[in-house]
Chain A
Amino acid sequence: MIKGYWIPVLHSHLPFVKHPEHKNFLEEYWLFEAITECYIPLLQRLKKLEDENIDFALTISVTPPLAEMLDDTHLMGKYDKYLQTLIELGQKEVIRTKETEYENIAKFYLYFFTQTKEFFDGFLNGNVLNGYRYFYDKNKIEIITCGATHGFLPLLSVNKEAVNAQIKLAKLSHEKHFNKSPKGIWLPECAYYDGLDVILNQNGIEFFIMDAHGIVYSDPTPKHAVYAPIITPNKVAAFGRDNESSKQVWSSKDGYPGDFCYRDFYRDIGYDLDFDYIKDYINPDGVRVFTGFKYHKITGNSDYKEIYDPLHAAYKTIEHAQNFHFNREKQITSISSMMDRLPIIVSPYDAELFGHWWFEGPEFLYNMFKEIDSHKVIKAITPVQYLNMFTENFVANPHPSSWGDLGYYDVWLNKSNDWIYRHLHEMADVMVESANLYKNNASTHQETLLNQMSRELLLAQSSDWAFLMTTATATEYSEARTKEHIGNFFKIKDMLDNTYFDEDFFTKISEKNSIFDFINFRTYCSM
């Protein structure tokens, strides 16, 4: 008998990074690593579940910048070369490690990357989105959208057209890539502010995900806390994160990914091997980087590391899936006794955790669905399926919040990044003024300029830049990107105002910042 529901949600996002001006660009590898370690392994496990006739339901956000990159010919051409290089390195490694203790693990990586390429070229036909579409069309996964460029909406909301554009363009991007309108949205950073539900509703969004306190502090207090969704006054459902199941995966102290037999993230042959040997597989400027060949397991808390055993680690994921299932069943049984309907456990995670930070994460998910399928006491569902079953839900105003550190907006507004907002707000104001001015009389040339201005604004708004400034990782790149888009925006505006055209400049930025080929600047007209 089904005792309750589990709604696993994976948030897949990377900022739009495309540098056609460089043959190799370090930040483009964020995408290539994610495809190789996260997206393809996940899709491979979903296919395996389907082949084995095991029931599953998964909600996945594929953000518009990610979808645009996965669909970009230039980037996918580079990805193909990236994979070929990994296979070449794998072949070299098998030879280098022959008859050593590393021989088996080297063979594992050669197999892993070869299989990845076969899946990419075969089932995916060279486009990762094909895999998502395959399961989406079969109603096995629910793909939801996100802000158009993952803009942190509460801090952009001084200009409501800016927020509307983030949502409206996200919807259009979803329709372009998945041939249907999104029913749900992963609000960037789960960040909500009062009144956002109006814009969501206007764009046909039926549900979004919040952190637990976003639901618990709602007004009035929801009867079922996070174990049932609430409905906002503007008729959008909000689902709240369950902390207990989150912690089992997220926690660096108690979470599964920290098990000593799992792969160690930090030890990588890009850093470990002689420079002369590895130089062709690291950054061309000689900077050592991760190659993806990681030969050690976590082993313990010291620097001493033993050789990674993928088979042993795979068995461990079965154990962890059983533990996760046991705890969910226990949790659901406890909660059910206090509810007048079957509870839901919503477990949202960054998709990139599964495979990148936690190499065995996709296998864990696969085993988790197998556990659910064999016990049949918990049912994995999507938010849409829940809302179809339970049409009456508690009406409340969600609590403005985020899933960032401390639960509010601190991560995206602090002394490291506060300088950006003056510019982002001014750009949005100028964009709205320009859209209003030209909406009925723009020439083709002016329309081209205004559309690129929209792109530059959207790319500057990405919450990733503010996040990276806060965490002091890739700070220089984040600041440079922000400045670049601000500069590009006002230069195009100057070209528009003073009727000149810097063709070289415009060609370069159009090729580089090419997100959303369908964009229409009129999206920014006053609401």
Chain B
Amino acid sequence: MNLWQKGVTMNFTDELIAQSLANQNGCSSGKISDINNEVRLYPLAQKYNKDKVVLMPINPTHSFVYWEVTEQTLKNLNIDLGNIHLSFKLFDENHQEIMEFDSIFSIGDYYISHKSKFKALYIKLFIQINNELKFILQSNIIGVLQNTIKSSSSNQLLNGCIDGDLIYNSSLLGVQK
């Protein structure tokens, strides 16, 4: 007989979570370690003549940003193409600046490492003109992927539960031994 049928009120959520996460193998797909290092074999034109900063989440501690600042924008600001200094500031949900990075390229991308404690992130793009930063545009806002159990005392259950033991490749798309 189940405990609930006996009228016993207990919270078994932690136990159920522990069972849910046991044997966590996390995937059906290829392994990250298999990533092909020969990237961008076929470079494409990456210029769409639109000012843009796009932020994308990858996992709880990494995000990816790509950007384009158009020649027209640079021209309007009297900035020489060979002398660009972009500044990117990352903000959290409370509009607190978390980190900053720079680039000398009007078109580019960057992998950002950050903590998972934030709820949301966004980027503001500035351009340096005469040692001053001029705001250009802001990215979309992303939710941070937080790998925590929200209302349980059993966060320690998460450590080491993904064992990476697998895997049959997920489909017919090629063969992996």
Interface set of A (CB-CB < 8 Å, partner B):
13-15, 30, 33-34, 154-155, 158, 189, 193-194, 211-213, 215-227, 240, 242-244, 246-247, 250-255, 257, 265-266, 331, 334-340, 349-350, 352-353, 356-358, 399-401, 403-411, 413-416, 418-419, 421-423, 425-426, 464, 467-476, 479-480, 483, 486
List 18 interface pairs A-B (beta carbons < 8 Å), by A numbering: A212-B24, A225-B17, A227-B20, A246-B25, A266-B177, A337-B2, A339-B4, A352-B171, A404-B28, A405-B29, A410-B58, A411-B32, A415-B35, A419-B43, A421-B64, A470-B30, A473-B174, A479-B41
- Indicate if B34 sits at the interface (CB-CB under 8 A): yes
Q: Which of B4, B43, B171 contacts A14 (CB 8 A)?
A: B171
Q: Which 6 A-B pairs have the closest CB atoms?
A: A473-B174, A471-B30, A338-B12, A472-B36, A225-B16, A408-B59
- Indicate if B145 sits at the interface (CB-CB under 8 A): yes
In angstroms, how far is the closest chain B Cβ from the Cβ of A393? 15
Interface size on B, residues (CB 8 A): 74
Docked pose: A213 CA to B17 CA in angstroms: 9
Q: Mark B119-142, 1 if CB is under 8 A from A, else 0.
A: 000000000000000000000100
Interface set of B (CB-CB < 8 Å, partner A):
2-4, 10-13, 15-17, 19-32, 34-44, 46, 48, 50, 54, 56-60, 62, 64, 66, 68, 109, 140, 143, 145-152, 162, 164-177
In angstroms, how far is the closest chain A Cβ from the Cβ of B16? 4
Docked pose: A219 CA to B15 CA in angstroms: 17
Docked pose: A189 CA to B38 CA in angstroms: 24
**Residue contact B32 to A250, C-beta cutoff 8 Å:** no
Q: A335-B16, A479-B42 are in contact. Are A405 and B22 (CB under 8 A)?
A: no
- The residue of chain A having its C-beta at the shortest distance from the C-beta of B36 within the complex is A472
- The residue of chain A having its C-beta at the shortest distance from the C-beta of B29 within the complex is A404
Q: A221-B150, A401-B145 are in contact. Are A158 and B54 (CB under 8 A)?
A: yes
Docked pose: A218 CA to B42 CA in angstroms: 40
Docked pose: A287 CA to B138 CA in angstroms: 51
Chain A contacts of B146 at CB under 8 A? Answer: 217, 399
**Residue contact B20 to A240, C-beta cutoff 8 Å:** yes
Chain B contacts of A223 at CB under 8 A? Answer: 11, 13, 16
**Residue contact A225 to B20, C-beta cutoff 8 Å:** yes
Docked pose: A241 CA to B173 CA in angstroms: 23
**Residue contact A250 to B168, C-beta cutoff 8 Å:** yes
Central interface residue in B15, B39, B54, B168, by most chain A CB within 10 Å: B168
Chain A contacts of B109 at CB under 8 A? Answer: 418, 422
Q: A221-B13, A251-B166, A423-B44 are in contact. Are A242 and B54 (CB under 8 A)?
A: no
Q: Which of B50, B56, B173, B174 contacts A421 (CB 8 A)?
A: B56
**Residue contact A400 to B66, C-beta cutoff 8 Å:** no
**Residue contact A250 to B167, C-beta cutoff 8 Å:** yes
Q: A339-B12, A415-B39 are in contact. Are A212 and B21 (CB under 8 A)?
A: yes
Q: Which of B39, B46, B57 contacts A422 (CB 8 A)?
A: B46
**Residue contact A407 to B27, C-beta cutoff 8 Å:** yes
Docked pose: A226 CA to B37 CA in angstroms: 37
In angstroms, how far is the closest chain B Cβ from the Cβ of A213? 7
**Residue contact A225 to B162, C-beta cutoff 8 Å:** no
**Residue contact B26 to A405, C-beta cutoff 8 Å:** yes
**Residue contact B35 to A472, C-beta cutoff 8 Å:** yes
**Residue contact B30 to A244, C-beta cutoff 8 Å:** no
Q: A335-B19, A350-B171, A426-B48 are in contact. Are A220 and B26 (CB under 8 A)?
A: no
Docked pose: A400 CA to B56 CA in angstroms: 13
- The residue of chain A having its C-beta at the shortest distance from the C-beta of B62 within the complex is A410
In angstroms, how far is the closest chain B Cβ from the Cβ of A327? 11
Q: Which of B23, B62, B169 contacts A246 (CB 8 A)?
A: B23
Docked pose: A15 CA to B54 CA in angstroms: 27
Q: Which of B12, B15, B22, B36 contacts A244 (CB 8 A)?
A: B22
Docked pose: A202 CA to B24 CA in angstroms: 32
Chain B contacts of A242 at CB under 8 A? Answer: 20
Central interface residue in A335, A353, A408, by most chain B CB within 10 Å: A408
**Residue contact A338 to B16, C-beta cutoff 8 Å:** yes
Docked pose: A410 CA to B56 CA in angstroms: 11
- The residue of chain A having its C-beta at the shortest distance from the C-beta of B31 within the complex is A405
Q: Which of A216, A353, A411, A413 contacts B20 (CB 8 A)?
A: A216
In angstroms, how far is the closest chain B Cβ from the Cβ of A298? 13
Chain B contacts of A422 at CB under 8 A? Answer: 46, 48, 54, 66, 68, 109
Chain A contacts of B140 at CB under 8 A? Answer: 158
**Residue contact B173 to A473, C-beta cutoff 8 Å:** yes
Q: A356-B172, A358-B168 are in contact. List 11 more A-B contacts (CB 8 A).
A: A14-B171, A33-B172, A218-B150, A227-B19, A244-B23, A251-B167, A331-B19, A336-B2, A407-B147, A416-B37, A471-B30
**Residue contact B173 to A411, C-beta cutoff 8 Å:** no
Chain B contacts of A155 at CB under 8 A? Answer: 56
**Residue contact A220 to B12, C-beta cutoff 8 Å:** no
Q: A34-B172, A221-B17 are in contact. Are A419 and B44 (CB under 8 A)?
A: yes
Docked pose: A250 CA to B35 CA in angstroms: 21
In angstroms, how far is the closest chain B Cβ from the Cβ of A486? 7
Docked pose: A255 CA to B23 CA in angstroms: 12
Chain A contacts of B62 at CB under 8 A? Answer: 410
**Residue contact A473 to B167, C-beta cutoff 8 Å:** no
Docked pose: A515 CA to B160 CA in angstroms: 43
Docked pose: A216 CA to B35 CA in angstroms: 28
**Residue contact B42 to A483, C-beta cutoff 8 Å:** yes
Docked pose: A13 CA to B40 CA in angstroms: 27
**Residue contact B59 to A406, C-beta cutoff 8 Å:** yes
Chain A contacts of B44 at CB under 8 A? Answer: 419, 423, 483, 486
Chain B contacts of A475 at CB under 8 A? Answer: 36, 38, 41
**Residue contact B35 to A414, C-beta cutoff 8 Å:** yes
Docked pose: A15 CA to B172 CA in angstroms: 10
Q: Which of A212, A400, A473 contacts B176 (CB 8 A)?
A: A473
Q: Which of A243, A257, A349, A411 contacts B24 (CB 8 A)?
A: A243
Docked pose: A254 CA to B167 CA in angstroms: 10
Q: Which of B38, B172, B176 contacts A471 (CB 8 A)?
A: B176
Chain B contacts of A476 at CB under 8 A? Answer: 41
Docked pose: A216 CA to B152 CA in angstroms: 10
Q: Which of B30, B46, B149, B169 contacts A217 (CB 8 A)?
A: B149
